[in-house]
């Protein structure tokens, strides 16, 4: 059997260069057109047949920032863990590529494709983060099957996508607080340059639950940052609300980062009587340590299902229905642990 090493010896080039040429190119290995022809000629003379590697590629786009400067793996880690577990069980490799939105824009503007789409050894893609619409077109041109996993507009795709039912999440968290006797519930949302569908979904669910209960919704926005430190203007706004004539008795935070910031702010403002609630999918343990009730979204399950959806698509060659997952409320029962509320986790094979 002819190997890459054999082709490298015949061409008189390094294995890295030969692997890059045969594999479709690498951003770390540069070579000329004459070098590419030399490699292909050597491979043809030796009748080299590339080994078919069963691999799954993952593209994650972190937005406008450099992926090397963002702790993006932390946000994706539950999904990555389950995808990797499923891939190992199915004897498949996993390749992870991360891009910033600006980097993808530059590639697409010049007619280039993301590096992962040039690779012949990728059977399918799982795409997460902020998706450029042109990227779907490039994936279609490359004939690479893909699944969209919790991307910024996952909820708008009726096929080949997996997302959380974020409207249900917002209502679920709000109903939990209402059932605990709260009537003045503040929702602290976030403000991002590129808004994720979960922002509007959780807010919509909160507002609907409040309206259904005959209560008045109240929303303020928090500029989220990595350190969960609330901005000065947010602190001022929160202080004004908490010291007003009818202060909220509970706050529903958009996610665990916002909840942590509010937790610190409440301690600064000496407002310990306010009950906190958050939506959560990447750090439920952190919420438990702070004693914050939360809707725990099934992130690990999402990665596992995304992988299985891709396998189904690879097997049938047909689109697969979108899956929409629901979370479960976790509340502090006593010093020994957590208990589930009446609303439990639920996953549907189609959009609800």
Please state the length of the chain: 352
Which spans in 213-271 are helix H? 232-242, 256-268
Q: What are 130-180's pLDDT values in tens digits?
A: 776 666 667 767 677 889 999 888 878 889 999 999 999 999 999 999 999
| Statement to judge: residues 232 and 271 lie in one domain | yes
pLDDT at position 212 is 98
**CA-CA distance, 171 to 54, in Å (whole number)?**
42
Bridge partners of 220, per DSSP, are 188
Q: Is residue 72 part of a domain?
A: yes
| Statement to judge: residues 92 and 112 lie in one domain | yes
| Statement to judge: residues 321 and 340 lie in one domain | no
Tokens encoding 118: 């040039």
Q: Is residue 50 part of a domain?
A: no
pLDDT at position 348 is 44
* Sign of the Cα pseudo-torsion (11, 13, 17, 19, in order): positive
pTM score, whole prediction: 0.75
Q: What are 251-280's pLDDT values in tens digits?
A: 999 999 889 888 988 888 776 689 999 999
Total count of domains within the chain: 3
Q: For residue 270, give the CATH number of its domain.
A: 3.40.50.2300
| Statement to judge: residues 323 and 333 lie in one domain | no
Q: What are 176-234's pLDDT values in tens digits?
A: 999 999 999 999 998 876 678 999 999 999 999 999 999 999 999 876 654 445 567 78
Beta carbons of 155 and 163 less than 8 angstroms apart: yes
| Statement to judge: residues 155 and 242 lie in one domain | no
pLDDT at position 331 is 86
| Statement to judge: residues 154 and 239 lie in one domain | no
| Statement to judge: residues 194 and 335 lie in one domain | yes
Band (116; pLDDT cuts 50, 70, 90): low
Q: What are 282-307's pLDDT values in tens digits?
A: 788 889 889 899 999 999 999 999 99
- Structural domain for 71, as ranges: 55-164+301-327
| Statement to judge: residues 38 and 69 lie in one domain | no
Q: Taking all residues of the chain, what is their mean pLDDT, rounded to a whole number?
A: 79
| Statement to judge: residues 343 and 307 lie in one domain | no
């Amino acid at each position: 059997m002819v190997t890459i090493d054999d082709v490298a010896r015949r061409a008189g080039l390094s294995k890295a260069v030969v692997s890059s040429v045969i594999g479709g190119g690498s951003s770390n290995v540069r070579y000329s057109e004459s070098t590419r022809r030399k490699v292909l000629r050597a491979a043809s003379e030796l009748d080299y047949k590339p080994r078919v590697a069963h691999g799954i590629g993952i593209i994650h786009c972190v937005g406008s920032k450099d992926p090397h400067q963002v702790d993006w793996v932390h946000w994706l880690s539950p999904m990555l863990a389950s995808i990797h577990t499923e891939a190992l069980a199915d004897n498949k490799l996993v390749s992870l590529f991360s891009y910033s939105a600006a980097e993808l824009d530059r590639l697409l503007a010049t007619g280039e494709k993301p590096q992962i789409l040039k690779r012949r050894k990728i059977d399918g893609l799982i795409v997460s983060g902020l998706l450029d619409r042109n990227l779907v077109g490039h994936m279609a041109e490359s004939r690479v099957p893909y699944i969209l996993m919790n991307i910024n507009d996952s909820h708008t795709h009726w096929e080949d996508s997996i997302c959380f039912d974020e409207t249900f999440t917002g209502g679920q968290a709000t109903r939990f607080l209402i059932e605990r006797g709260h009537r003045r519930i503040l929702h602290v949302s976030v403000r991002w340059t590129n808004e994720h569908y979960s922002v509007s979904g959780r807010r919509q669910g909160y507002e609907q639950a409040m309206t259904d209960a005959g209560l008045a919704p109240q929303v303020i926005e928090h500029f989220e940052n990595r350190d969960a430190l609330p901005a000065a203007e947010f602190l001022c706004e929160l202080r004004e609300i908490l010291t007003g004539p009818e202060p909220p008795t509970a706050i529903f935070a958009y996610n665990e980062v916002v909840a942590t910031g509010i937790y610190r702010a409440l301690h600064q403002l000496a407002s310990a009587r306010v009950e906190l609630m958050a939506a959560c999918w990447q750090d439920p343990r952190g919420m438990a340590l702070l004693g914050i009730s939360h809707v725990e979204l099934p992130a690990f399950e999402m990665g596992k299902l995304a992988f299985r959806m891709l396998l189904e698509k690879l097997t049938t060659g047909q689109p697969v229905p979108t899956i929409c997952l629901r979370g479960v409320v976790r509340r502090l029962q006593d010093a020994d642990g957590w208990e589930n509320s009446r609303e439990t986790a639920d996953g549907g094979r189609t959009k609800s």
